[in-house]
Amino acid sequence: MAENRDVGFLERVGVADKVTFPLHNFWPTRGPQWDALGVTEAGEVILVEAKANLKELKSPGTKAGEQSLVVIKQTLNEVKEGLGIDAKFDWTKTYY
């Protein structure tokens, strides 16, 4: 099974050359491991993180170290802002 994480997933979906900043500024090394990857006909990238059961879905918060947690929270806050979601909700806790 392929390791769909870090630069590997960007290469698999054909966008590694489009990333204009160091990936470690966006997410710590050994970040999310995607269960499925896709690219639409319009070139939009689809990343899937699947949960197999309710226990897995209600997972504990991140166990990231202090430095990694800063990067993760910054990135998640950028996503929340882009989606118009209240930044007060901490996505690094339960259901992470």
What is the per-residue pLDDT across 21-59, written as a single tens digit (0 to 9) for each? 888 888 888 777 888 899 999 999 998 888 777 877 777
pTM over 0.95: no
Determine contact, residues 45/39, Cβ cutoff 8 Å. Answer: yes
Give the H or E element holding residue 10.
helix 6-12
Q: What's the pLDDT score for residue 64?
A: 87
